[in-house]
Amino acid sequence: MSRRTVPIWLLVLLWWIAYAVLFAGQVLSMNEAAGRTEPWSIVLRDSLSIWLSWVPLTLGLLWVVRRYPLERGRFGRALAIQSAAVLAVILLRAAHMYYTNPIHHWYDQLPGFWEVAVTSLRNNVMMAWMIVAAAHALVLSERMRERERKLLQVEANLARSRLEALTAKLNPHFLFNTLNSIAELVQSDPDMAEDILVGLSELLHDSLDADQSQERPLREEIELIRTYLQIESIRLGERLRLEWSIEERALSVAVPTLILLPLVENAIVHAIAKRRQPSRLSLRASVSDGRLLIEVENTLLAGVAPAPGGGLGLSSTRERLRCLYGDAAQLEYGAIDGGEHRVRIVLPILAARAAQFAPMTTSAPAAATEPPL
């Protein structure tokens, strides 16, 4: 028995016990008004027999509603199953009255079973459907609480991703080298120095923006990555060789905010920046079969295998994808042939979100060697 079902059992049991006690009190009052005397113990026994039989029936209807709720896409099937469940409850109630009649004397002269069933239909059909309605209210409440829990989890993961991205950008080594590059360029190339300062400001502003939504178009993520890589290119020079292959139609697809920066930063810090030889960093994005495929590939540091757990950045990314898309999203990573490492993200494309982020003008799908922004 799960922890969630224990309170339901108790709630249902206490409800019908209270209902039975109140019903017994009403019966006793009516008997006294009619001049009939009957012991309280007998009245209470009969009332408990009537109403406590609803305990398993209520829990059964609750199970049916949880398994087959009335919702878009399967309304007819769920209604048919719930109607069958209500009919079964009516027949079980009839069987209870029929077979306990020798004990409780519901009928002075017991009629046939189907006559009892017709009476059960008149007496119990509304009660059964009221329980079904209450079960739907309970199921909707549980779903709302679950959505709130997931939303809070996604918000926490987004905050953690912002912190990771900010930590990457404020990493003393990164910041020192960036400022040192700016200082060197102030005299020789002031325009380039200004561009780097602007890029650094954009990175910080993007990470600290408290009004960011959970998702934004891939175009904005690519802009952020390009700014970050522009700064790193000054520091790494020829050691960083960039390859872009971004389909035009992929740019309007909604992706989780700050989903790419931790992946690119991992590739720079843990592999490319530690190599003396030129290293490749490739970013690809394409659309196929209603899904967005994003791949980040980089040259591995010779003799060093990637961490088996993927590190904090990848674990956080996986958790965010799970919260936002459930099983519809995928995250894969690992070493590939040629001494390289690949991270692959597969996201479902939701039409409403894609339309929200789509540009006013469209063009034919094409791969680009530079991000078409």
- Region 77-84 average pLDDT: 91
Whether 29 shows a pLDDT value over 70: the answer reads yes
Q: Evaluate whether residue 262 is within a structural domain.
A: yes
Query: What's the CA gap between 36 and 108, in Å, rounded?
Result: 17
Q: Reply yes or no on whether the pLDDT at 340 is more than 60.
A: yes
Assigned domain for 330 exists: yes
Clarify whether residues 14 and 143 are in a common domain.
yes
Last residue of a domain, one of 97, 117, 148: 148
158 within a domain of the structure (yes/no): no
CA 112 to chain centre: 53
Which of 94, 124, 148 is where one domain is finished?
A: 148
Asked if residue 345 and residue 261 are part of one domain, the reply reads yes
Is 217 domain-assigned?
Answer: yes
Residue 369 forms part of a structural domain: no
d(CA 341, CA 364): 31
| Whole-number Å distance between alpha carbons of 192 and 186 | 8
Please say whether the dihedral angle defined by the alpha carbons of residues 317, 255, 346 and 327, taken in this order, is positive or negative. positive
Q: Quick check: 218 pLDDT over 90?
A: yes
Determine, yes or no, domain membership for 37: yes
Residues 48 and 140 in one domain: yes
Tell the residue number behind the tokens 């540009």, with chain if given. 359
Indicate whether 351 and 260 sit together in one domain: yes
Same domain, 229 and 111: no
Structural domain for 343, as ranges: 212-357
What are the tens digits of pLDDT across the range 248-296? Answer: 999 999 998 878 888 888 888 888 888 888 899 999 999 998 899 999 9
Q: Is 346 left (phi over 0), alpha (psi -120 to 50) or beta?
A: beta
In a domain, 343, yes or no: yes
Which alpha helices (H) appear in the chain, and where do they start and end? 5-33, 40-52, 54-67, 75-99, 101-104, 113-169, 172-188, 190-208, 218-236, 261-270, 311-325, 351-357
| Domain match, 132 and 18 both | yes
Number of domains forming the structure of the chain: 2
Q: What is the pLDDT of residue 369?
A: 43
What residue type is 295 in one-letter code? E
Give the domain CATH number at 326.
3.30.565.10
Q: Which amino acid is residue 292, in one-letter code?
A: L
Instruction: State whether 10 and 113 are in the same domain.
Output: yes
Q: For the chain, how many residues are written?
A: 373
Alpha carbon distance 369, 371 (integer Å): 7
* 348 contacts 328 by C-beta, under 8 angstroms: yes
Residue 305 has a pLDDT of 57
Does a structural domain hold residue 186?
no
Q: What is the layout of strands, in order, in the sheet containing 279-288? A: 240-246, 279-288, 291-299, 340-348, 330-336
Task: Specify which residues 299 forms β-bridges with.
Answer: 340
What is the pTM for the complete model shown?
0.51
Mean pLDDT of 220-229: 87
- Torsion from C-alpha of 232, 212, 344, 340, nearest 10 degrees: 10
Q: Which of 97, 120, 148 is the last residue of a domain?
A: 148
HSE-up of residue 313 (Cα within 13 Å, Cβ side): 21
The predicted structure's pLDDT at residue 26: 84
